[in-house]
Each structure stands twice: as C-alpha cells, then as structure tokens.
Amino acid sequence: MFRRPRQESTLPPEPDLSPPADTVVMRFLTRGGATVVVVERERPKYGERFGWVCLGCETIGPSAEEVAGYVRDRANRHAGECRAMPQPVA
C-alpha cells in the first residue's frame, strides 16, 4: 500500500496569553518564616508601579489609601508583624 506524505501544520503559533511578569525588587522575611516580596509591575494598574505581596498570609498591597512611595516601608512593616509560615509546596 502506498502512504500519503505527511503534511506539515500551517497553523500560526498560538499567542502568548500569560500575564506579564513582575520583577521582584526586594524580599523581606516574616516572623513566621514566609517571604514578603516587593514587585515592579511590567504593566502598572491604576498608576501603581510597585506593589507587595506576602507569600505566607497572601496579603496584597498597596491598598488604595497607601501612597506608592511607601510601598517598601509598608512591606517591611507587614513582614515585622506577620507570623504566617510559608505556604506548603504541592
């Protein structure tokens, strides 16, 4: 029997729909051993270029009442108060 030659796919590659990567600029250790990271956003939301997130209790900052210039201080203050342990790895 004769086989038909295999055709190569002519479909265009799928677009990258993953969210833009944030750059970690600082890390703080919480009292419980988790990490608070300060990130610089690739695409700022609402003019907030920097933000922070606690990888233990999952608190996200800055909140609406915070001024962007105090992100580092607020992240450091949260790290000093938070007793959350690191999240378990699956």
Q: Comparing C-alpha atoms, which of 43, 82, 41 is closest to residue 59?
A: 82
Could you report the per-residue pLDDT of 35-68, keeping only the tens digit for each? 999 888 777 666 677 888 999 998 888 655 555 5
Residue 30: per-residue pLDDT: 93
> Using CA atoms, how far apart are residues 59 and 49, in angstroms rounded to an integer?
18
Residue 79: per-residue pLDDT: 94
Please state the pTM of the whole predicted model.
Answer: 0.66
Domain boundaries, the chain: 23-81
Are 55 and 4 in contact, with CB atoms under 8 Å apart?
no
Are 78 and 31 in contact, with CB atoms under 8 Å apart?
no
> Using CA atoms, how far apart are residues 36 and 19, in angstroms rounded to an integer?
21
CB neighbours of residue 40 within 10 Å: 14
